Amino acid sequence: MAPIRPNAATGLRPFLRAAPGIRPPFLARTASPPQLPAQRWHSSVNPDEVSHFNALASEWWDPHGSSRLLHLMNPLRHDFINACLTSQPEARPSSLTYLDIGCGGGIFAESAARLPSTSSVTAIDPTPSVLAIAKAHAKKDPMLASKLSYQQKSIEELPTPEKGYDVVSVFEVIEHIDQPAAFLDKVKPFVRPGGWLVMSTIARTWMSWFTTNLVAEDLLRIVPPGTHDWNKYINEHELRRYFAGKGWHSPRVMGVVYIPGVGWREVKGSEKVGNYFFAVRRDAEES
Amino acid sequence: MARRGYATMTNDIYDVVCVGGGPAGLSLLAALLTSNLRVALIEAQDLTKSSVLSLPPSKFSNRCSSLTPSSAQFLNSIGAWSHLQRDRIQAYHEMQVWDGVTGARIEFDWPTQGTEKTIAYMTENLNLTSGLLGRIRELGGVDIFESSKVEQIQLGEETEEMDLRSWPVVQLSNGKTLAARLLVGADGANSPVRSFAGIESRGWDYGRHGVVATLALEGEGWGGEYSKTAYQRFLPTGPVAMLPMPGNFATLVWSTTPANAALLKRLAPKDFIAAVNAAFRLSPVDLAYMHSQNEGQDEEYQWRMQHTQTNPRMLPQAVVGVQEGTVASFPLKFRHADTYIGERVALVGDAAHTIHPLAGQGLNQGQADVQSLVGAIEYAVSHGQDLGTQMWLESYNSERYAANHVLMGVCDKLHKLYSVESGPLVPLRSMGLKAVNALGPLKGFLMAQASGSGAKVI
């Protein structure tokens, strides 16, 4: 079945975006250590993306709005994180700290904070209106206040913690970033040794171009046009290659497919063609 | 009254507030108490009334339900079944259903002899509610507001710290307010929760009343204590059913016209007994005459039986007594809510649907509703979702709405089909019953549906 991108990004583009076959920036950059270009305010954040999400903010929590597919996908993120934690040889920590990068309206951040096994969630996003939506929505659930905190920041602006977080999540984000390799380098210090970096994205295939860009955005319009830039999609093997030899281990992947009338389901092997989750565990000791 | 800010006190905030302490509401609580949710129950009645089952072994309440094995299994899974008084429950293994006009008959019994297969368990509703309350007390941790009327329900307000504008806030007659992440209406056919949610309930009245009574029979049934049979005869005025209780007792459910119901309630015991025996034996014409008499049904019945051929083994054993004070009646209705869910609202049981009692499925539908809703809640909680939001209640609505709709439609059509006394429908329906009787696999399917163990239609 088809990969479908539930939310966000980049200003409106012409009907057909760059067609498949063009090598994305990510591949080029993994070959040599990434060099950060000089940035005005956010190094990893594309201002076009910020303005696109600003425009989408009001629909974020509408269960029948453009973010519906993202809401429906959210439980599977927890299933995937659970699978990561139970795959560890040692027992999972009794309480977990989360950092959610690019939290958007807080769909994942709120749900992580509700879990009894969570001690705290720090959630960041650079888009002001989106973060305002997230904060206003969190007030609707009194149990969140003690565990969930939002900050309008990019990862560069967040002070590097001493200990790091048990779980750092980067959901539906890296395909919106101009230099994903540089971004992932910056994320690493936020994951505590032995902690997990968990992300989700879409494979860059003909299938995903067809379904997410052409069908979902341009023809069916179930995803706002301009949400996806197919060229920024990243394939699983590219992620594996990036993390190899950089102080990470135990990469895990889970391909998920949206089946109309049924919902999101894990489908083995579908990470090669569409939406997938990917996680790596940081080495216990720095190499 | 003056406007004030509701439920800004943290101790007024609940994950689940259930209005209504009947079988559905109590099952929901018992199922949720093993989670870490903060749960409250609001019940207008004094719950000691539904928690004390102090009748002697020879007396049975007239409000009984036929619990399917799936309902019994659910009650067992939530730890309630063992709290029921088992010696007051009667399993039955066979059903006899026939057409009062043509005599066409369908017999339901499980083909494999020896391996005991239960169609359903006859249970007093009081036994069920007291067992559920026993389980709830055993678990503890629920705030129970009994003898408390719901004064009003409105949405909460926004304050500096929290925004409860999407949360229903229930105000009780004693002034207490409860804010609900999820407000469950288990509050019956005239559900105040449903009104609050603005959900319409549509349907019609059948112009029929259900007459109930606890009966004593001449024996334990033709099959003895271990092989009991439920009987149902379709009369033009509605179906009459006799369902086995322990020993030589049985419970009556007779759907008939309001005039007949009123007559039956005023008859002297011996005339009432004769009217019940007649309902399973005499022709609709004879019955119509007997229902026009103000008294003397007993003599009339004795006389008419001399001219009526019956095969006693195909009929329930004769009624010899009726327990004092158990003859009662209630109007029959068909109602179905437009939806079972709203934002932070879910309806279960009679608040969602009222069904014709001819299949004995009303209470079982409620139990299946609760089981499905608990599943939706548990999924939401284990995945960090807000259990009250409509998106995470959708699975409950889609699972149960279609299933209930099919069952309600079938029961409604059966009622209408058998209300016809003459004309082309009558021979057709007999043919239908006879055909079903002859077709083993179809019969097996129908029985599996009745016992709730079969593959689901939807």
ipTM: 0.81
* pLDDT of the residue at A10: 30
Instruction: Give A160's DSSP letter.
Output: P
> Is there a contact between A101 and A169 (Cβ–Cβ < 8 Å)?
yes
Same-domain status, B110 and B132: no
Same-domain status, B51 and B150: yes
pLDDT tens for B301-356 read 999 999 888 888 889 999 999 999 999 998 888 889 999 999 999 999 999 998 76
The 3-class secondary structure across B287-348, one letter per residue, is HHHHCCCCCCHHHHHHHHHCCCCCCHHHCCCCEEEECCCCCEEEEEEEEEECCCEECCEEEC
pLDDT tens for A77-101 read 999 999 999 999 999 899 999 999 9
CATH number at residue B148: 3.50.50.60
* pLDDT of the residue at B104: 76
Which residues 79-118 on chain A approach chain B with CB closer than 8 angstroms?
A: 79, 110-116, 118
Examine residue B3 and state whether it is found in any structural domain, yes or no: no
Distance in angstroms (rounded) separating the CA atoms of residues B201 and B194: 8
pLDDT tens for B23-45 read 999 999 999 998 889 999 999 99
Average pLDDT over residues B351-376: 87
C-beta atoms of A142 and B13 within 8 A: yes
Instruction: Report whether A176 belongs to an annotated binding site.
Output: yes
Q: Does the beta carbon of A145 lie under 8 angstroms from any beta carbon of chain B?
A: yes
Task: Specify the residue for token string 């002697």.
Answer: B56
> Is there a contact between A96 and A166 (Cβ–Cβ < 8 Å)?
yes
Instruction: Report whether A175 belongs to an annotated binding site.
Output: yes
Same-domain status, B23 and B147: yes
The closest of B147, B150, B183, B185 to B168, measured between CA atoms, is B183
3-state DSSP: chain A helix, strand, coil percent, rounded to 5? 35, 20, 45
Examine residue A17 and state whether it is found in any structural domain, yes or no: no
* pLDDT of the residue at B52: 72
Examine residue B5 and state whether it is found in any structural domain, yes or no: no
CATH number at residue A258: 3.40.50.150
Of B382, B386, B391, the CB nearest to A141: B386
Task: Specify the residue for token string 């210090």.
Answer: A189
Instruction: Report whether A171 belongs to an annotated binding site.
Output: yes
C-beta atoms of B385 and A114 within 8 A: yes
- Tokens (6 digits) for B423: 């004309």
The closest of A165, A51, A154, A42 to A98, measured between CA atoms, is A165
* pLDDT of the residue at A2: 42
Using a CB-CB distance cutoff of 8 angstroms, which residues of chain B are in contact with residue A116? 36
Chain B: closest CA distance from residue A244 (Å): 31
- pLDDT higher for B195 or A241? B195
- pLDDT higher for B130 or B412? B130
Distance in angstroms (rounded) separating the CA atoms of residues A149 and A99: 10
Distance in angstroms (rounded) separating the CA atoms of residues B427 and B430: 5
C-beta atoms of A114 and B164 within 8 A: no
Which strand (E) or helix (H) includes residue A108? helix A107-114
* pLDDT of the residue at A11: 28
CA of B166: which chain A residue's CA is closest? A140
Of B36, B165, B391, the CB nearest to A71: B391
pLDDT tens for B212-240 read 999 999 999 998 888 899 999 989 888 89
Examine residue B114 and state whether it is found in any structural domain, yes or no: yes
Chain A: closest CA distance from residue B226 (Å): 45
Rounded to the nearest integer, the mean pLDDT of chain A is 78
Average pLDDT over residues B163-182: 94
Using a CB-CB distance cutoff of 8 angstroms, which residues of chain A are in contact with residue B162? 139-140, 142, 145
Beta pairing, strands B177-185 & B13-19: parallel
* pLDDT of the residue at B43: 95
pLDDT tens for A247-258 read 999 999 998 888
Chain B residues within 8 A (CB-CB) of chain A? 10, 13, 36, 158, 161-167, 181, 379, 381-386, 389-391
Examine residue A123 and state whether it is found in any structural domain, yes or no: yes
> How many structural domains is chain A composed of?
1
Residue B268 has pLDDT above 80, yes or no: yes
Examine residue A23 and state whether it is found in any structural domain, yes or no: no
The closest of A19, A13, A111, A113 to A70, measured between CA atoms, is A111
Examine residue A211 and state whether it is found in any structural domain, yes or no: yes
pLDDT below 50 — which residues of chain A?
1-42, 287
* pLDDT of the residue at A261: 75
The closest of B176, B150, B177 to B164, measured between CA atoms, is B177
Same-domain status, B338 and B321: no
Distance in angstroms (rounded) separating the CA atoms of residues A249 and A251: 6
Residue B60 has pLDDT above 60, yes or no: yes
pLDDT tens for B80-118 read 999 999 999 999 988 888 887 777 777 666 555 445 588
Of A63, A78, A110, the CB nearest to B391: A63
Which residues 125-144 on chain A approach chain B with CB closer than 8 angstroms?
A: 136, 139-142
Rounded to the nearest integer, the mean pLDDT of chain B is 86
Average pLDDT over residues B272-298: 95
Examine residue B213 and state whether it is found in any structural domain, yes or no: yes
* pLDDT of the residue at B6: 45
Residue B368: which domain range? 10-76+126-203+333-411
> How many structural domains is chain B composed of?
2
Chain B: closest CA distance from residue A34 (Å): 36
Same-domain status, B281 and B149: no
> Is there a contact between A36 and A203 (Cβ–Cβ < 8 Å)?
no
Examine residue A68 and state whether it is found in any structural domain, yes or no: yes
> Is there a contact between A276 and A253 (Cβ–Cβ < 8 Å)?
yes
- Tokens (6 digits) for B287: 């019955």
* pLDDT of the residue at B95: 86
pLDDT tens for B201-210 read 988 888 889 9
Burial degree of B324 (CB within 10 A; 0-12, 13-18, 19+): exposed
C-beta atoms of B162 and A74 within 8 A: no
* pLDDT of the residue at B349: 95
CATH number at residue B305: 3.30.9.10
C-beta atoms of B384 and A115 within 8 A: yes
Of A68, A111, A142, the CB nearest to B385: A111
Distance of CA B387 to the CA centre of its chain: 27
pLDDT tens for A239-283 read 888 888 889 999 999 988 888 777 888 888 877 767 889 999 999
**Neighbouring C-beta atoms of residue A105, cutoff 10 Å:** 30
3-class secondary structure, B31: helix
Beta pairing, strands B249-256 & B238-244: antiparallel
Examine residue B319 and state whether it is found in any structural domain, yes or no: yes
Same-domain status, B215 and B298: yes
C-beta atoms of A71 and B158 within 8 A: no
* pLDDT of the residue at A61: 87
* pLDDT of the residue at B426: 55
Distance in angstroms (rounded) separating the CA atoms of residues B454 and A16: 52
Examine residue B83 and state whether it is found in any structural domain, yes or no: no
